[in-house]
Amino acid sequence: MSAQTSLIRTLIAERFGEAIEELGFSHGVHAFAVPPDMIVELCRFLKEHPALRFDFLSDICGVDHYPEMPRYEAVYHLYSLPNKWRVRIKCRLGDPPRVPSVTGVWRTANWHEREAWDMYGIRFEGHPDLRRIYMWEGFEGFPQRKDFPLRGYKDKLNPFGAEGPPPTQPDLATKDIP
Amino acid sequence: MTEVTELSLPEADAPHTREVLLNLGPQHPSTHGVLRLVLELDGEYVARVDPHIGYLHRGTEKLAESFTYTQIFPLTDRLDYLCPPSNNLAFALAVEKLLGIEAPIRAQYIRVLMAELARISGHLLIIGALPMDLGAMTALLYAMREREMIMDLMEMISGARMHTSFCRVGGVREDLPDEFFPKIREFCDIFPNRIRDYERLLENNRVFLKRTQGIGVISAADGIDLGLSGPNLRASGVDWDIRRDEPYEIYDRLAFNVIARDEGDCYARWRCRVEEMRESVRIIEQCLDQMPDGPFQIDMPTIAFPVDKDRVHCSMEALIQHFDLSAYGFKVPKGEVYSAIEAPKGELGFYIISDGSPKPFRMKVRAPSFVNLQALFGVTNARYLADMIAVLGSLDPVMAEVDK
């Protein structure tokens, strides 16, 4: 395990220098933190480097650390089919959360990113079709955020919901997706 | 199958040709649940397909944040409801990794045995349902007959036919009953012949072959790019099985073949599943032969109920601990884990972030069906509408897992 870790670490450090922070190895996964503007470059590097070949994108998910700052995180899980290694890449995001899309690197990122947008309102810039995926069009708010009540907001269809109107977030309304 | 890449366009001023928007679903027998497909049709060809999902969205991940770890097991049952023991196992393994514990060996054998039974039960449905979508009813009825045997075995083990919730963190809920062993041996004797029956029924059926062979071909590179996993990817020639490549539980003690094919078409995906069922029977037989005696639950009063219930009745401390465990659950150390298993549909991963409390801070389910369904975009461009039904059936999405 340690040989793997040091190989991945050295290769990343050679290419990106100090910008990428190492978060250690635990439960079979190497973890790294990366600034949002470098995510596409790092993913492409990990996918295409002949010694690493992290060619399989397992998962992308959003995390909300409310009330801590920076509040949001996009977490990527990569798998290398030839080497059988796993890597986790974390991207800490401010509010409103924005991160470049990796749909250009893996087509499978499309729905994962739509889910993270739908549930957390993380805007993936450059995504070809960033619409809600689970919730219906016209739904307000992002249900998996920590400040969204578990039972939703009260309205005529949801008599057991929490009082108060959903917070309006004009800058994140679905209409002005680039 | 003729490759349709460019459609012959009609005369520029022909008045009667235009694209038709067709709404398939959300209630339609061939969509395997509540899936709505908005299809742009150009004559018989599908020009564009836009799946709309979310009709079954229950917010499993959000709910899990307000449940204790033990309470989450029934939620995981309802992801891929054709094979709940696999989902239970995936979740239990993730939590156990965070806690730094391992279930006793007997419990691991029981879990693997149940997961493989579940794999057969999941595959049975699809190897029957795909021919049914294409017009051959018989296979499904036969498959249901064998599924009934598995349901009975599940009921014998756990008392529930579908939603077993039999796994616990650190083991399983109970030991296997004695009357289970002759029944499962009987099943293992009967079932390989039944698999042969399905094959004989369909592998020479010209209609079935014409409608599946060469249809919906996904290359290995495309499959990886689209994130396919499990039998869907192995049918495209990628020899990857998490049971063998990152062995969990006792899979490293078992001998089984990983089934892979090169064609990548609907028939290969169907065929892979049929052959995987044979391997599952082999695994079950080995589990029965190798299963040692011993505890079925870890002996750790802070995490699991005591195996010996009398302790609770006789000792004050044990009673308090029992109450504490039922009412508040157990604390899981701070940390993060991503743990994946080879579920019947593909890579089923649980990503759990724990903040040290008895409830997960964040639980993300990497649902294989969700990712597999997305591949529908990649393969159905400019094909017949009828072929798309075959592709959808062969990708085997379970909508409850897609929608979480």
CATH of the domain at B172: 1.10.645.10
Q: Given a cut of 80, is residue B18 above it in pLDDT?
A: no
Task: Give the residue on B whose Cα is nearest the Cα of A112.
Answer: B371
pLDDT at residue A170, as a whole number: 46
Q: Is residue B52 part of a domain?
A: no
What band does B16 get if pLDDT is binned at 50, 70 and 90? low
pLDDT at residue B14, as a whole number: 53
Candidate ranges B23-37, B47-61, B280-294; pick with highest mean pLDDT:
B280-294
Decide if the complex's ipTM is over 0.95: no
pLDDT at residue A175, as a whole number: 47
The length of chain B in residues reads 404
* Structural domains counted in chain A: 1
Query: Dihedrals φ, ψ of B47, to 5°?
Result: -85, -35
Q: Which of B53, B97, B364 sits opposite A134 (nearest CB)?
A: B53
Q: Is residue B293 part of a domain?
A: yes
Nearest Cα residue to B205 out of B126, B130, B122 = B130
Task: Name the B residues in 199-228 with CB < 8 Å from any A CB.
Answer: 224-227
- Per DSSP bridges, beta strands B27-28 and B33-34 are antiparallel
DSSP A126-170: T-TT---SSSPTT--S-TTSTTS-TT-B-BTTBTTSBSSPPPP-G
Bridge partners, residue B51, by sequence: B37
Q: Is residue A35 part of a domain?
A: yes
Q: Is residue B400 part of a domain?
A: no
**CA–CA–CA angle B386, B273, B149 (5° rounding):** 110
Range of the domain at B187: 60-367
Q: Is residue B147 part of a domain?
A: yes
Query: What residues of chain A score a pLDDT lower than 50?
Result: 170-178
- CA distances from residue B71 to B93, B328, B339, B360 in whole angstroms, order as listed: 15, 10, 19, 11
Pick from A58, A65, A83, A119 the residue to mutate for testing the B interface (most B CBs within 10 Å): A58
pLDDT at residue B13, as a whole number: 54
Interface A:B, Cβ pairs < 8 A: 88
Q: Are B24 and B39 in contact (CB under 8 A)?
A: yes
- DSSP assigned state of B94: H
Q: What is the mean pLDDT of residues B238-257?
A: 89
Query: Dihedrals φ, ψ of B109, to 5°?
Result: -65, -40
What predicted TM-score, i.e. pTM, was given to this entire model?
0.88
In this structure, how many other beta carbons lie within 10 angstroms of the beta carbon of residue A102? Answer: 26
Q: Which two tokens stand for residue B265?
A: 């078409």
Q: What's the CA gap between A17 and A35, in Å, rounded?
A: 13
* Structural domains counted in chain B: 1
Range of the domain at A81: 2-150
Q: Is residue B148 part of a domain?
A: yes
CATH of the domain at A86: 3.30.460.80
Q: Is residue A106 part of a domain?
A: yes
Q: What is the mean pLDDT of residues B201-206?
A: 86
**Beta strand ranges found along B169-270 (DSSP E):** 171-172
Q: Is residue B15 part of a domain?
A: no
Q: Are B371 and B346 in contact (CB under 8 A)?
A: yes
